[in-house]
């Protein structure tokens, strides 16, 4: 069966995380993706340790499977001409250079659309191409100025970043969605368009209820640690071994929780009569619950509480999380083997599940310029088989 993106040619001028994750998603579902790098290569190639078994950066490996890779020197007129010819025959370009940089080389949207009006051109920036065009688009910086750090961390502690480049991931997902929308519109209009994605707006939209409450009330929410601003109890609790999350979403679950904990008297306490009251008295409620949870392990509490219909779970390490997902049959890890070189790459599976069109894992993350011979000149470019 044909893949959803089969026949779509993508030129990936991006590097690091947001752009490469977007193009890898498209590649997993059949798009032909050509990764274009400078002589120095994608910065993440040098972000190590940790490394794979064959010494490749795990950061680079995480977002660059199913791609071909070539090196292009933008200051070399012949190489630049070949790249423009590739793009003339492409469907999609993805780039995350600082706004204005690619125009110097004739690789901006307005220039490229003259020779390829059907081109969908996705530009990922930190803060857009207006007043924030000169600002560096680093995930940590956006987490800070975009408000995420202000609500992350303990109430009396310092603001904290999320433990992964979450803003880049959000931007990658928005970029993928934007490209698919533009390709869908192109089916009726025959015209491409520019897709503009910024890390800043991706984060603000991703703040959902927290941003909404701020826009409505004019008040910024405080840091609550692992607690929820609108639900209680909905946070972490200490145990004799490990930490357990208890996520109560309604009064029925609350009744089951306190009954299982031997705290059924709390059902008659007006401080905890409904969710609004429980949120108001969150601190007292946590202390009462934690006096009991400290008597058993996180694993034991997970089993007991889930057994009575209360959402609960041990705080896992990432390794434990992968093992748990595997136990559930979610198949979180796949190993790709290059049929020609024998190289293997262990990868986290694509999270998108389609009933008829499965993601495919065809190619290990490419070495720098690995497919230069396939795309060495314009004739070869036109007839290149991305599965070679």
Is 168 one of the catalytic residues?
Answer: yes
Dist CA 7 CA 172 (whole Å): 21
- Segment 159-205, tens digit of pLDDT: 999 999 999 999 999 999 999 999 999 999 999 999 999 999 999 99
For residue 6, give both structure tokens: 């089969």
Contact between residue 266 and residue 281 where contact means Cβ atoms under 8 Å apart: no
Dist CA 305 CA 106 (whole Å): 61
Dist CA 174 CA 154 (whole Å): 30
Dist CA 353 CA 378 (whole Å): 37
- pLDDT, residue 54, reads 84
Judged by phi (left if over 0) then psi (alpha if -120 to 50, else beta), residue 184 lies in alpha
To the nearest whole number, what is the mean pLDDT of the chain?
94
Dist CA 125 CA 100 (whole Å): 11
Dist CA 107 CA 94 (whole Å): 11
Q: Which domains, and CATH codes, for the chain?
A: 9-206+334-383 (3.40.50.10540), 234-324 (3.30.1540.10)
Contact between residue 315 and residue 245 where contact means Cβ atoms under 8 Å apart: yes
Contact between residue 124 and residue 95 where contact means Cβ atoms under 8 Å apart: yes
SS (H, E, C) the chain: CCCCCCCCEEEECCCCCHHHHHHHHHHHCCCEEEEEECCCCCHHHHCCCCECCCCCEHHHHHCCCCEEEEECCCCCHHHHHHHHHHHHCCCEEEECCCCCCHHHHCCCHHHHHHHCCCCEEEEEECCCCCCCCCCCCCHHHHHHHCCCHHHCCCCCCCCCCCCCCHHHHHHHHHHHHHHHHHHHHHHHHCCCCEEEEEHHHHHHHHCHHHHHHHHHHCCCCCCCCCCCCCCCCEEEEECCCCEEEEECCCHHHHHHHHHHCCCHHHHHCHHHCCHHHHHHCHHHHHHHHHHHHCCCCHHHHHHHHHHCCCCEEECCCHHHHHHHHHHCCCCCEEEEECCCCCCEEEEECCCCCCCCCCCCCCCCCCCCCCCCCCCCCHHHHHHCCCCC
Which residue ranges of the chain lie beneath pLDDT 70? 376-388
Contact between residue 245 and residue 302 where contact means Cβ atoms under 8 Å apart: no
- pLDDT, residue 378, reads 40
List 108, 139, 168, 338, catalytic entry: 168
């Amino acid at each position: 069966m044909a893949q959803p993106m089969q026949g779509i040619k993508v030129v990936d001028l991006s590097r690091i995380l947001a752009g490469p994750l977007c193009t890898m998603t498209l590649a997993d579902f059949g798009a032909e993706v050509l990764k274009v790098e400078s002589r120095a290569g994608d910065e993440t190639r040098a972000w190590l340790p940790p490394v794979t078994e064959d010494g490749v950066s795990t950061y680079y490996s995480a977002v660059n499977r199913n791609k071909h890779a070539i090196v292009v020197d933008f200051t070399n007129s012949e190489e630049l001409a070949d790249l423009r010819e590739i793009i003339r025959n492409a469907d999609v370009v993805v780039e995350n250079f600082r706004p204005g940089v690619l125009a110097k080389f004739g690789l901006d949207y307005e220039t490229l659309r003259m020779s390829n009006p059907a081109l969908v051109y996705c530009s990922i920036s930190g803060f857009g191409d207006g007043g924030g065009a000169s600002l560096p688009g680093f995930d940590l910086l956006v987490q800070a100025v975009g408000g995420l750090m202000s609500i992350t961390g303990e109430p009396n502690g310092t603001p904290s970043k999320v433990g992964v480049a979450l803003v880049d991931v959000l931007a990658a997902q928005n970029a993928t969605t934007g490209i698919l929308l533009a390709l869908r519109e192109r089916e009726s209009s025959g015209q491409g368009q520019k897709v503009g994605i910024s890390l800043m707006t991706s984060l603000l939209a991703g703040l959902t209820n927290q941003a909404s409450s701020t826009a409505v009330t004019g008040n910024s929410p405080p840091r609550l640690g692992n607690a929820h601003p609108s639900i209680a109890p909905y946070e972490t609790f200490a145990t004799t071994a490990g930490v357990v999350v208890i996520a109560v979403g309604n009064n029925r679950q609350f009744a089951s929780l306190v009954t299982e904990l031997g705290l059924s008297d709390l059902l008659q306490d007006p401080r905890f009569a409904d969710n609004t009251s429980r949120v108001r008295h969150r601190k007292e409620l946590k202390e009462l619950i934690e006096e009991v949870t400290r008597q058993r392990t996180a694993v034991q509490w997970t089993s007991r509480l889930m057994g009575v219909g209360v959402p609960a779970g041990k705080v896992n390490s990432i390794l434990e999380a992968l093992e748990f997902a595997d136990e559930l049959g979610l198949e979180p890890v796949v190993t790709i083997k290059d049929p020609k070189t024998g190289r293997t790459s262990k990868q986290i599976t694509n999270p998108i599940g389609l009933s008829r069109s499965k993601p495919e894992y065809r190619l290990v993350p490419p070495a720098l310029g690995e497919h230069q011979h396939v795309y060495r000149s314009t004739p070869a470019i036109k007839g290149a088989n991305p599965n070679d």
